[in-house]
Amino acid sequence: MVWIMHSIQEIYHTAIPYFWYISLGGVELFFSLSGFLIGRILLSLFLNPQFKLRDIPVFWIRRSLRILPLYFLLYFAYLLMYNLYIYPVRFDISYLLFLQNIRSTPTFFGESWSLSIEEWFYLCVPVAILFFYCIASLFFRRRKAEIAFLFAAFGLILSMIIFRQASVESGIDHQAVIFRMDAIAYGLIAAYASMKIPRLSNSRSAQIITGGLALWFTAAIIKLAPDINAHTKPLYYPLCGIGSAAMVLGLYYYSFKRRILFVTHTSKISYSIYLIHLSS
């Protein structure tokens, strides 16, 4: 979705009215899917009776090995390419620390804005779950991991909603990391639901997907409507997050008659496509 819409803009040097939202919606789906997959990993990690503190650094290392090598390679490749053939670009260490989008969206290597959110989420959320796990251990004998997981997820969502509303008048970019950590947290809630509900029928799964789409398009209307109140605009983020997470959850339960090879193959290379499709 992101690749197609950006390609149209590059080819025709204009955005199709209202259709540009498809690319942004694709990123929101990416966030929810990421939260769903990571949420299942983290919940299984904390539910494990053999859980040890060193399991969290192991989680960080595994995530880093999947994301960082290609990202670092492309960052330096783009630096070289731009300085040789396009325009001078200075080395910026913030890109190596995923700080380039901490307060505003970067212009160089623009795709990396979403990876900043991803990496800080991976870093902070396990620590938040561990914090609530320690507190829950003082009051509960059972389900400590589940309680900590939900407190971390809902706490992150609620804090981001309040933070965005409080900054409406400031004009700060709400795509920055400090305002968008909840984008992945909705996937955590979907992950929790998937581990508590054993199975659903295709008809019920389709209802969840349809409900997610309805929320998704409601969010699009709020995002695109020119006369929406400034304090209503931030509702786009939770509505889109819930809608995207619902679609991911519904598709998780939906039983397809056969595997679609195009989807299977594309899923393996989508991260690479995302990182090279715009800056190249």
Q: Are the beta carbons of 27 and 2 closer than 8 angstroms?
A: yes
Within 13 Å and on the Cβ side, how many CA atoms surround 160? 27
Residue 148 to residue 42: CA distance in whole angstroms: 11
Q: Are the beta carbons of 208 and 253 closer than 8 angstroms?
A: yes
Residue 256 pLDDT = 86
Sign of CA dihedral 88, 78, 30, 61: negative
Residue 27 pLDDT = 85
Average pLDDT, the chain: 88
Separate counts of helices (H) and strands (E) for the chain = 10, 0
Any idea which of 8-12, 45-49, 272-276 has the lowest mean pLDDT?
Answer: 8-12
Residue 278 to residue 187: CA distance in whole angstroms: 26
Q: Are the beta carbons of 135 and 198 closer than 8 angstroms?
A: no
Residue 25 has pLDDT above 90, yes or no: no
- Per-residue pLDDT tens over the stretch 147-174: 999 999 999 999 999 988 888 777 666 6
Residue 90 pLDDT = 92
Residue 47 pLDDT = 92
Q: What is the pTM of this model?
A: 0.89
- Per-residue pLDDT tens over the stretch 228-249: 777 788 888 999 999 999 999 9
- Residue 268 pLDDT class (50, 70, 90 cuts): confident
Cα dist from 246 to 6, 86, 174, whole Å: 25, 42, 23
The token pair that represents 158 in the structure block: 């609620």
Cα dist from 19 to 5, 22, 25, 245, whole Å: 8, 6, 10, 21
Q: Are the beta carbons of 274 and 112 closer than 8 angstroms?
A: no
**Block residue for tokens 């998780």:** 252
Q: Are the beta carbons of 119 and 95 closer than 8 angstroms?
A: no
Residue of higher predicted confidence among 255 and 6: 255
- Residue 211 pLDDT class (50, 70, 90 cuts): very high
- Per-residue pLDDT tens over the stretch 177-207: 888 889 999 999 999 999 999 899 999 999 9
User: Measuring CA to CA, which residue among 180, 177, 200 is closest to residue 240?
Assistant: 180
Helix (H, G, I), strand (E, B) or coil at 78: helix
Residue 53 φ/ψ, nearest 5 degrees: -60, -35
Within 13 Å and on the Cβ side, how many CA atoms surround 175? 15
- Residue 117 pLDDT class (50, 70, 90 cuts): very high
